[in-house]
Structures are given as structure tokens and as C-alpha cells.
């Protein structure tokens, strides 16, 4: 019997598999697709944007260099941290096709960031992400089985059995990472609620006579929106048909031409279609992320339109948050209720992303009120406050969890503190343990952590920029669980360690049943 069976071998399932494998769990991944590579995963249709939090996740697990190489070295992510840079982002994405100026992000908002190898988002492809994660998962002993589709699932008190490819796969836990049409979600009986679609979206590559007449970038029009990529040759469209066309008919050149002409207002001719796909803005989320011993992550737990490029990043955040908590539960070191904090922390983040996508669709609706709303939004988004707000919502690094402490840093993504010898926090998180950075070498803190050495790494020494803190406890997912500054009257480190890492002990706990 395996510790965990993951259904779905996309980026979310593979990232979760790496997290569990890193912690020593036995993991099997069941992926429906027989081959890992396809035109849908490579550039241009497989193009994806990773936000700053996702890039940081790869950095903190030692995979950023691999990802940069697999992505063709795009962007300046991974640059020398000694280079003269500020924590300011180089891009802020867009809102409903309205581009924003990164120079307008408020410096005060960046006060809890520090320069490091993972400062910004980056462009990559699904193929690059999956190949890096699959390679790392194999190195960690993860069993990846392709061409196997899950068809059944039965929960028992102490284990779950997945039926797939004519075989049974028993495991202590099962995680569905099998996308927006999740089989696991249906088999386990999760409630899926939300809003129905307003539009059908299209992406296609092919021959378009008069392509140069289409304005590059995002273009909101009286009839929807279109996107012409200056490089890569693909075109995206959003047609407000109530989602009626999606997957209902073949994506022929005639249909794509009709939609493109109507949305753009330009008489172009689509004479050849190489690859094409459709989607909607249906926004749905499961009411919980856990049913007994079955959990969900990524699109299996929430779906929404691709506006703003939040889907992949939201899923990676799920996997990073769930991985160490599920591993601790498997090992028997988890404190009571730790696994429940996965949904408590991630469900609100997912709900916010769904509302973010709904708001953008509302701004683009082709009705008589939309132009006034678009004008208002353009004026607002030209301000520093609005630009900063968008960056906070889309970068991922500004998310904050309730960890039971009101200190400004706790619950947030940890700054990439750099010690005097050049070691960075991101390097210290590579093995998946929590980290205590003690900038003052307090002997009492060192002694207090003696029972958690299998779960928490203790590192001491002055930092090049400690932001006024004397010590921080960072969870394996990079979230600050506790911090102490120079004005603190007491530490509370022991209490925080117990809350997130369980009781101290001198030897590894027995594995949980």
C-alpha cells in the first residue's frame, strides 16, 4: 500500500508528488495521458506565466535553474542577487486587458521583500514545467504511471482504493489533481458550486490573411476581446455567447474567422487552422477540499477563466501548502488539525481568484454599460494605489494566512533573507524542512528547538538585511509562522513550533496508519 496516490500528472500533481517524495513518502502518480509531450504543452499554445510566488517555490526547492534552462532562459529571473536591483516588479500583468505600469507599484508595499534569485514572474511552458517536475519526482522515488485513467474510488476507514486501468491502487490518502473535469471530484462526492459561463474563449494558431491589421496585445472591443501575440503566431478571442459553443462543434476555419471578424471588427481571413482550443469563464469551486481521506488540489478544486493567468499559479500554491502538511500526517508528526489548515488557508485564496476572474469578465461585457465601466477602470488603474492592488492580487507574494499572530510578517511569504556568508533562505528550504533563522544567536532558542531537528533546521548568524527582526520561524512552504523583533517582550517560539510541527521528540515518530 502506498502512502499517497495522486490522480493527475500535470504541474500540480507533479509538484505535490515532489513535495511528498522529498519528505520520504511513497507516492504513485496516475496520469491519463500516455505521452508527456504534446503541441498543447509547448510554445506557443502551452505558454504560461508563473507569478513571483510560483517562481519562488521552484527556487526554494532547488529547481529554478532547471526550469530556467527548460524554458529557454526567458526573463531575468535567477539573476545574481548581488546585482543592483530593487524588490520592485518588472511587470504587473493586466486587468481585463488593461495593461499596468510596474513603476507605479508603491515602494511601501515592497518593504517586506528582499532581493533574491526569484524576484519576479517568468514566462515558461507547460512542457517545461512538467518535464522539470517529472525529472525531480523520479529522482525522489515517485512512481509515475502514464496512460492510466481513474474509473473508480472507494473510501475505507484507514485507506482508499483507486481503480484505474483494470487495476486497484490502495493508498492511505488520495489526492485528485486531475483538472477541471476531475474524475476524483465526482467519485468522492465533492460539491461543486459557482457561476455559469458568459463567454466562449478561443486560442488558435494557423494562417490568417491580414493578421497585421490586428493590433498586437490585448484589445477590448464593443463585441468582446481579442489577443494577438506579436511572437508565436497565436490569436486568442473571447466571444460573449453564454459559453454555448465551447466543445459543442468542431473548431473550423470558417467558425474562427466569423468570431474573429465579429470580435475584432477587422476583415481578416482564416485560411488554415493548425491547433485550436476553446474554453469558458465558468467559475466553480468545491465547498471543501477534503472528504475523509481524499483531497483535491488545482483545477480539480476550482476552475475559472484564464484571464490574468492565475490558474497554474493557484494550483502550485495548493500543492506547496498541502505537501508538507500531508507528509507530516503520513509520518505521524502532524499536530492535531494540521491537515485541516490546508482548506482553511487555500479555499479563501481560491475564492478570491474566482472573483478576480468574474470581475474582469464583467468589465469586458459587450453591453451599453461596459464602455463607461472600462473608462472608469482605466482611470483607476492608472493610479499607483490601483496598480499596487493588482500586483498584490496577482503576484502571490502578498497572500497572507491566519497563523494566529498579528505580527506584520507572520502569515506572509518570507523575505529571502541572506546571511553574512551569502546563504539565502531559499537555499535553506531545499530539503523541505521548516527553518528558524536566529539573527542574534540566542542560546535559549537553540535549546528550545532540540526536539524538532528532524522537522526544523536551526540556522544562526547575522543577516545582511534582517528588516529589524531578531528571529523568524518559516514553514516548509515558505510562510512565516512566527517572528520576533527587537521590541518583543517574549519569544513564543516553542508554542509556534508545537502548533505547526507537533510535539518535540528525540527520534522520528512512527508512521501514522
pLDDT tens-digit series, residues 341-373: 999 999 999 999 999 999 999 999 988 888 899
Determine what percent of the chain is predicted with pLDDT higher than 70. 95
Determine what percent of the chain is predicted with pLDDT higher than 90. 75
3-state SS, residue 162: strand
- CATH superfamily to which 2-192+284-395 belongs: FAD/NAD(P)-binding domain (3.50.50.60)
d(CA 60, CA 30) in angstroms, rounded, equals: 26
d(CA 383, CA 406) in angstroms, rounded, equals: 29
d(CA 259, CA 431) in angstroms, rounded, equals: 50
Q: What is the 3-state secondary structure (H, E, C) of 97-113?
A: CEECCHHHCCHHHHCCC
pLDDT of 302 above 90: yes
What are the b/e assignments for 39-75, b being 16+ CB within 10 Å?
eebebebbbbbbbbbbbbbbbbbebbebbbebbeeeb
Closest to 512 measured CA to CA, from 257, 325, 250: 325
The CATH 3.40.30.120 portion of the chain extends over 425-501
> Which CATH number is 425-501's, of 3.30.420.40, 3.40.30.120, 3.40.50.1110, 3.30.450.20?
3.40.30.120
The CATH 3.50.50.60 portion of the chain extends over 2-192+284-395
For residue range 380-429, list pLDDT tens digits in order.
999 999 999 999 889 998 899 999 888 899 999 999 999 999 999 999 99
**Structural element, H or E, at residue 33:** none
Q: Specify the DSSP class assigned to residue 299.
A: G
For residue range 62-89, list pLDDT tens digits in order.
999 999 999 986 555 655 656 545 567 8
d(CA 455, CA 448) in angstroms, rounded, equals: 13
Q: How confident is the model at residue 215 (pLDDT cuts 50, 70, 90)?
A: very high
**Cβ-Cβ contacts under 8 Å for 506 (sequence gap 6 or more):** 451
Give Cα separations from 496 to 133, 286, 377, 492 (angstroms).
31, 30, 43, 6
| Residue 154 backbone phi and psi in degrees, to 5 | -130, 125
pLDDT of residue 510: 42
d(CA 193, CA 284) in angstroms, rounded, equals: 5
d(CA 475, CA 57) in angstroms, rounded, equals: 13
Q: Specify the DSSP class assigned to residue 123.
A: E
Give Cα separations from 248 to 124, 194, 307 (angstroms).
30, 21, 22
Residue scoring higher pLDDT (82 or 154): 154
Q: Which of 409-413, 447-451, 465-469 has the least mean pLDDT? A: 447-451
- Average pLDDT of the segment spanning 251-280: 95
3-state SS, residue 233: coil
The CATH 3.30.70.2450 portion of the chain extends over 200-280
CA angle 322-428-297, nearest 5°? 15
Mean of the per-residue pLDDT values of the chain:
91
Q: How confident is the model at residue 116 (pLDDT cuts 50, 70, 90)?
A: confident
pLDDT of 28 above 50: yes
pLDDT of residue 84: 47
Pairing of strands 456-460, 294-296: unpaired
Total number of residues shown for the chain: 513
- Average pLDDT of the segment spanning 290-312: 94
Cα dihedral 457→462→468→473 (10° resolution): 0
Return the CATH number of the domain spanning residue range 200-280.
3.30.70.2450
Q: How confident is the model at residue 434 (pLDDT cuts 50, 70, 90)?
A: very high
Q: How confident is the model at residue 508 (pLDDT cuts 50, 70, 90)?
A: very low
Residue scoring higher pLDDT (118 or 133): 133
Q: How confident is the model at residue 509 (pLDDT cuts 50, 70, 90)?
A: very low
pLDDT of residue 512: 47
pLDDT of residue 506: 45
Kindly report whether the global pTM for this prediction surpasses the value 0.85: yes
Please compute, for residue 365, the number of CA atoms within 13 A of its CA located in the half-sphere on the CB side: 16
Show the cell assigned to 333: 508528526
Amino acid at each position: 500500500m502506498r502512502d499517497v496516490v495522486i490522480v493527475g500528472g500535470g504541474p500540480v500533481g507533479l509538484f505535490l508528488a515532489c513535495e511528498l517524495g522529498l519528505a520520504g513518502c511513497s507516492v504513485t502518480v496516475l496520469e491519463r495521458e500516455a505521452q508527456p509531450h504534446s503541441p498543447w504543452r509547448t510554445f506557443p499554445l502551452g505558454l504560461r506565466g508563473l507569478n513571483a510566488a510560483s517562481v519562488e517555490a521552484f527556487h526554494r526547492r532547488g529547481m529554478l535553474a532547471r526550469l530556467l534552462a527548460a524554458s529557454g532562459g526567458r526573463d531575468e529571473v535567477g539573476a545574481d542577487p548581488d546585482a543592483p536591483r530593487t524588490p520592485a516588479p518588472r511587470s504587473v500583468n493586466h486587468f481585463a486587458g488593461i495593461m499596468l505600469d510596474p513603476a507605479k507599484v508603491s515602494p511601501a508595499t515592497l518593504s517586506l521583500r528582499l532581493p533574491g534569485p526569484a524576484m519576479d514572474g517568468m514566462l515558461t511552458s507547460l512542457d517545461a514545467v512538467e518535464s522539470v517536475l517529472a525529472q525531480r519526482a523520479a529522482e525522489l522515488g515517485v512512481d509515475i504511471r502514464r496512460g492510466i485513467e481513474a474509473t473508480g474510488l472507494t473510501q475505507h476507514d484507514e485507506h482508499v482504493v483507486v481503480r484505474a486501468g483494470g487495476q486497484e491502487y490502495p493508498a492511505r490518502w488520495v489526492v485528485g489533481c486531475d483538472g477541471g473535469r476531475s474524475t476524483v471530484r465526482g467519485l468522492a462526492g465533492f460539491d461543486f458550486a459557482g457561476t455559469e459561463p458568459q463567454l466562449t474563449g478561443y486560442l488558435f494558431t494557423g494562417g490568417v490573411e491580414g493578421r497585421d491589421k490586428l493590433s498586437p496585445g490585448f484589445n477590448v472591443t464593443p463585441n468582446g476581446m481579442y489577443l494577438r501575440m506579436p511572437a508565436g503566431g497565436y490569436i486568442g478571442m473571447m466571444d460573449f455567447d453564454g459559453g454555448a459553443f465551447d466543445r459543442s462543434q468542431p473548431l473550423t476555419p470558417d467558425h474562427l474567422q466569423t468570431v474573429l471578424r465579429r470580435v475584432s471588427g477587422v476583415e481578416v481571413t482564416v485560411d488554415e487552422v493548425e491547433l485550436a482550443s476553446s474554453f469558458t469563464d465558468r467559475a466553480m469551486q468545491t465547498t471543501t477540499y477534503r472528504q475523509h481521506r481524499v483531497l483535491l488540489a488545482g483545477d480539480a478544486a476550482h476552475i475559472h477563466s484564464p484571464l490574468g493567468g492565475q490558474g497554474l499559479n493557484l494550483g502550485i500554491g495548493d500543492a506547496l501548502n498541502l505537501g508538507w502538511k500531508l507528509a507530516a500526517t503520513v509520518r505521524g508528526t502532524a499536530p492535531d488539525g494540521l491537515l485541516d489548515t490546508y482548506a482553511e488557508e487555500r479555499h479563501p485564496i481560491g475564492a478570491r481568484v474566482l472573483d478576480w476572474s468574474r470581475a474582469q469578465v464583467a468589465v469586458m461585457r459587450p453591453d451599453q454599460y461596459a464602455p463607461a465601466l472600462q473608462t472608469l477602470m482605466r482611470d483607476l488603474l492608472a493610479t499607483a494605489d490601483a496598480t499596487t492592488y493588482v500586483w498584490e492580487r496577482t503576484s502571490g507574494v502578498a497572500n497572507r494566512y491566519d497563523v494566529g499572530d498579528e505580527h506584520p510578517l507572520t502569515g506572509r511569504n518570507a523575505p529571502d533573507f541572506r546571511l553574512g556568508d551569502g546563504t539565502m533562505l531559499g537555499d535553506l528550504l531545499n530539503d523541505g524542512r521548516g527553518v528558524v533563522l536566529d539573527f542574534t544567536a540566542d542560546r535559549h532558542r537553540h535549546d528550545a528547538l532540540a526536539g524538532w531537528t528532524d522537522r526544523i533546521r536551526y540556522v544562526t548568524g547575522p543577516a545582511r538585511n534582517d528588516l529589524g527582526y531578531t528571529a523568524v520561524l518559516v514553514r516548509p512552504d515558505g510562510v512565516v509562522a512566527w517572528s520576533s523583533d527587537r521590541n518583543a517582550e517574549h519569544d513564543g517560539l516553542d508554542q509556534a513550533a508545537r502548533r505547526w510541527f507537533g510535539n518535540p521528540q528525540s527520534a522520528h515518530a512512527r508512521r501514522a496508519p
